[in-house]
Chains A and B, each alone.
Chain A
Amino acid sequence: MRTVAVIALHELRRTATDRVVLFFAVALPIVITVIIGSTFGGTESLDVGVLDRDDTARSRELVASLDEADGVAVERYDSPAELRRDVRTGAVAAGVVVPTGYGRDVDRTDGSATVELVSDPTSTAVAAVRATVQGAVADEAVRVGAARFAADHGGGDLRAARAEVDRLAGELPAATVRTVAVESDGGGPDGGGATDLSTFSYTAPANLVLFVFVNTAMVGAVIAEDRKRGIIPRLLATPHGTGTILAGMGAAKLTFALVQSALLTVVGALLFGVDWGDPVAAAVLVVLWAAVASAVGVVVGSFVAAVEQAQALVPPLGVAMGMLGGCMWPLDIVPPAMRAAGHLVPQAWAMDAWIGLVFDGEGLAGVLPQVAVLAAFAVVLGVVAARRLRTVLTS
């Protein structure tokens, strides 16, 4: 047991002095968390690009009501190409196009207009903007529709009816929508459901899953370095069994993954008030994920010949698995085939479980299937890792 600890400590000490590793493991995730946290935690609004092709009093009214809506700031555009580009690069969170003839159609008694909302489907940040834009457009539609009806049935002219509707809209309480979040059989506190779905609540666990995996897989390369430096042959020359050495190396990766997870969860919780859900279930998830990641780390370490190789291979691989598994965007928004493919990687199961915890307020029982799959991943990968490492050590 002591030998395991010594081997693990040695490796951790080396990891802790590796600036590349520290950068990826500590600085980068925290910087990203802080940037995203300060963006969504702050009161700053998101920019919406508006292309008003009509430029009439009616269209300007719609744009003005958009501008007044909470959480968005209107940025005006003159060319559809520029708007398309800025939505694509994310310079604006979404684009709104008011078509030519909008004012004319709206003011006619039987005309109708279609406002276009362009958004980047890969960005989870725009959901709130979309709702706001839709709300503003719907509000205008309600007034126009009501005014037409009143003019039609009351016999007055449209302009007077509109003025009356605007006045009434300020007085009458509006009908609303009530959202009830339904829990699955797991129980636990009410998670608040869909209405509380903030981007940050999703990003925090997504980053945890993504970075802990990539970093732990990358530090696996220490094994390759140890082989090169002849540390492993020397370890093998001691009376300690291969099993002990294996355990020590595995323990080092696990500790690394756990420390990193702890850091990210604590920073998220303390600085940005991320609610990680049921503490017991969260702890189980963190430990299981650390186990999966460290097993992958050992496998990587047994395959690569040098640290540089791991640094070249692991980030693209980790990011690809993250994309497939829902770390970059929720899997709910991709086609079913991609979602199914995503569940071939452990990331998807981990994200499913975190969504259960954070959004649905599930307890351990509620995410048992995901936990079981992750445990299976950990066991299988652990066995593969141990076999590979044994082969490498003894060859």
Chain B
Amino acid sequence: MGRGGQIRAGALVAVVEVRRRLGNRSLLIQAIVGPVALAAIISLAFGSAGNVDAEVGVVDEDGSPLAAAFARGLVEASADGLEFVAVDGAAEARRRVEDGDLGAAVVVPAGYMASLAGDRPGAVEVIAGDDRLVSSAVARSVADALTARANAARLASAATVAGGGATPSPDDLAGLELPIDIRTRGSGDEVSPAAYFGPSMGLLFLFMTAGIVARSLLDEQRRRILDRVLATPTRPGTVLAGKCASAVVLGVISLSTIWLVTALALGAGWGDPAGVVLLIVATALAVAGIGAAVAAISRTEQAAESFAMAVAFLFALVGGNFIPPGVLPETLRRLSLLSPNGWALHGFAELSAADGTAVDVLPHAAVLLAWALVTGLVAVRLLPRRLEGRA
């Protein structure tokens, strides 16, 4: 069989394989439905602003102008999802927090302002209740803000006196402004979470399907289908190429569908389409290459499956699919540079979050293609020898 014949045979293997897999419902769930569903959950959880839902009690036992102005300001600032309620006395606040009526409370104790003039300044108290995470965090930051004002008042008073001025009145100090604000923004405000988690989840599950090339080959070997195919002039390399081509096609279909669905249904902008296509193809090639290498070194279907899963999860782990690389120890962070997931994920983020173009993700695509090439070569060298040795 000539070169043209081999190509035709390879294409035939690929077409049969693609058709078989598209008919496999569990694969569709794994490669498309699952990632889209997970990206949708993340979008619903974090897509909208105003996630906060907290009710915080404010107790002013101090009665000083500073504390009164602060408490009043808070109650007036109550907004959707974040409510500040004036409460009479710390005991009452504590009871209401215990009852779950309030998530947390901030107490300015009696004599607080006066204590600031002395050597032992008092403390604003946070009563942290059951709804800890948000209400307590809100209460804590409110208490921090008041404490900052108190500290500013304290320093201002001392510095005024040191500069030759008269001790400022509490009313004057209550008007003290802190000129630097901090505004917290979620990264999702600018970049849709689905634009990041769509590819992230897609990659995770796509790498998990890498074992399929191996499983399909080994299954056909076990059932002697491969023997029959190889009895024709079709070379083992052709069969492998066909299987890999089908894996590439499926990878492209899977990631493209996730792209389409998250973009249309969740409004996720993945960035420059040329770059997205480039990364999708490069990623699919890398996954196919890794799958082929797994096939080349595994003796049984089960071994192939466990090997592929282990590799997929290892890559996902250091590549940032589970844990953001920023919190990893330095050594692991360096290791993440080896992970194809990491490069792909970084590339997709370059497009969606950093307004990158196809040119900007060329390095990412190059690394993915290198993975495809190296693993593909391993497969091409090892697999035919093994198949021929057995056939």
Binding site for B on A (CB under 8 A): 18-20, 23-24, 27-28, 31-32, 35-36, 38-40, 42, 44, 46-47, 79, 81-82, 84-93, 95, 105-106, 111-123, 125, 127, 130, 133-135, 137-151, 153-156, 160-161, 164-165, 168-169, 172-185, 193-195, 197, 304, 308-309, 311-313, 315-317, 319-320, 323-324, 329-330, 332-336, 338-339, 355, 359-360
B158 contacts which chain A residues (CB < 8 A)? 168, 172
Q: Which 10 A-B pairs have the closest CB atoms?
A: A90-B324, A316-B34, A154-B163, A154-B165, A150-B159, A332-B133, A146-B155, A149-B156, A85-B354, A194-B136
Closest CB-CB distance, B382 to chain A, in whole Å?
Answer: 21
Choice from B184, B193, B330 contacting A130 with Cβ under 8 Å: B184
B170-210 at interface with A (beta carbon < 8 Å): 172-173, 176-188, 190-191, 193, 196-197, 205, 208
B134 contacts which chain A residues (CB < 8 A)? 332-333
A35-B323, A313-B29 known; A138 vs B144 contact (CB < 8 Å): yes
Listed by A's residue number, 10 A-B pairs whose Cβ atoms lie within 8 Å are: A35-B328, A36-B323, A93-B327, A143-B155, A149-B156, A149-B168, A177-B123, A177-B144, A316-B205, A320-B38
Q: Check B326–A90 contact: CB distance below 8 A.
A: yes
A339 contacts which chain B residues (CB < 8 A)? 53
Closest CB-CB distance, A146 to chain B, in whole Å?
Answer: 4
A84-B187, A175-B150 known; A320 vs B37 contact (CB < 8 Å): yes
Q: Check A147–B159 contact: CB distance below 8 A.
A: yes
Chain B interface main SS type? helix
Among B70-78, B94-102, B247-255, B280-288, the stretch that binds chain A is: B94-102
Q: Check B353–A179 contact: CB distance below 8 A.
A: no
Among B232-240, B259-267, B344-352, B369-377, the stretch that binds chain A is: B344-352
A172-B155, A179-B126 known; A116 vs B324 contact (CB < 8 Å): no
Q: Check B160–A119 contact: CB distance below 8 A.
A: no
A90-B325, A149-B152, A313-B30 known; A84 vs B190 contact (CB < 8 Å): yes
Q: Check B120–A173 contact: CB distance below 8 A.
A: yes
Choice from B46, B120, B165 contacting A150 with Cβ under 8 Å: B165
* Complex CA–CA separation, A244 to B378 (angstroms): 50
Closest CB-CB distance, A295 to chain B, in whole Å?
Answer: 21
B196 contacts which chain A residues (CB < 8 A)? 88-89
* Complex CA–CA separation, A193 to B128 (angstroms): 7
* Complex CA–CA separation, A315 to B125 (angstroms): 44
A338 contacts which chain B residues (CB < 8 A)? 44-45
Whether B16 is near chain A, meaning CB under 8 Å from some CB there, is: no
Q: Check B187–A134 contact: CB distance below 8 A.
A: no
B96-123 vs A, Cβ < 8 Å mask (1 yes, 0 no): 0110100010000000000010011111
Whether B129 is near chain A, meaning CB under 8 Å from some CB there, is: yes
B97 contacts which chain A residues (CB < 8 A)? 182
Choice from B42, B148, B187 contacting A118 with Cβ under 8 Å: B187
Q: Check A20–B44 contact: CB distance below 8 A.
A: no
Q: Check B148–A165 contact: CB distance below 8 A.
A: no
Question: For A85, A130, A144, which residue has the most chain B Cβ atoms within 10 angstroms?
Answer: A85
Q: Check B183–A146 contact: CB distance below 8 A.
A: no
* Complex CA–CA separation, A309 to B25 (angstroms): 9
Q: Check A114–B181 contact: CB distance below 8 A.
A: yes
Q: Check B186–A119 contact: CB distance below 8 A.
A: yes
Closest CB-CB distance, B174 to chain A, in whole Å?
Answer: 11
* Complex CA–CA separation, A329 to B104 (angstroms): 21
Q: Check B353–A85 contact: CB distance below 8 A.
A: yes
Q: Check B164–A156 contact: CB distance below 8 A.
A: yes
* Complex CA–CA separation, A384 to B352 (angstroms): 45
Q: Check A177–B147 contact: CB distance below 8 A.
A: yes
B355 contacts which chain A residues (CB < 8 A)? 81
Q: Check A332–B132 contact: CB distance below 8 A.
A: yes
Q: Check A145–B306 contact: CB distance below 8 A.
A: no
* Complex CA–CA separation, A323 to B302 (angstroms): 29
A332 contacts which chain B residues (CB < 8 A)? 131-134
Q: A145-B156, A178-B123, A323-B45 are in contact. List 15 more A-B contacts (CB 8 A).
A: A32-B322, A86-B326, A119-B185, A121-B46, A130-B184, A148-B179, A149-B168, A151-B163, A172-B158, A179-B140, A194-B104, A197-B133, A308-B305, A316-B34, A333-B134
* Complex CA–CA separation, A178 to B168 (angstroms): 27
Among B3-11, B222-230, B309-317, the stretch that binds chain A is: B309-317
Closest CB-CB distance, B66 to chain A, in whole Å?
Answer: 11
Closest CB-CB distance, B277 to chain A, in whole Å?
Answer: 19
Closest CB-CB distance, B217 to chain A, in whole Å?
Answer: 15
Q: Check A28–B122 contact: CB distance below 8 A.
A: no
A143 contacts which chain B residues (CB < 8 A)? 152, 155
Q: Check B180–A123 contact: CB distance below 8 A.
A: no
Q: Check A145–B327 contact: CB distance below 8 A.
A: no
Q: Check A149–B176 contact: CB distance below 8 A.
A: yes
Choice from A31, A184, A308 contacting B215 with Cβ under 8 Å: A308
Choice from B38, B50, B121 contacting A173 with Cβ under 8 Å: B121
Question: For A42, A150, A360, which residue has the most chain B Cβ atoms within 10 angstroms?
Answer: A150
Whether B127 is near chain A, meaning CB under 8 Å from some CB there, is: yes
Chain A residue at minimal CB-CB distance from B126: A179
Closest CB-CB distance, A136 to chain B, in whole Å?
Answer: 9
Choice from B148, B208, B326 contacting A142 with Cβ under 8 Å: B148
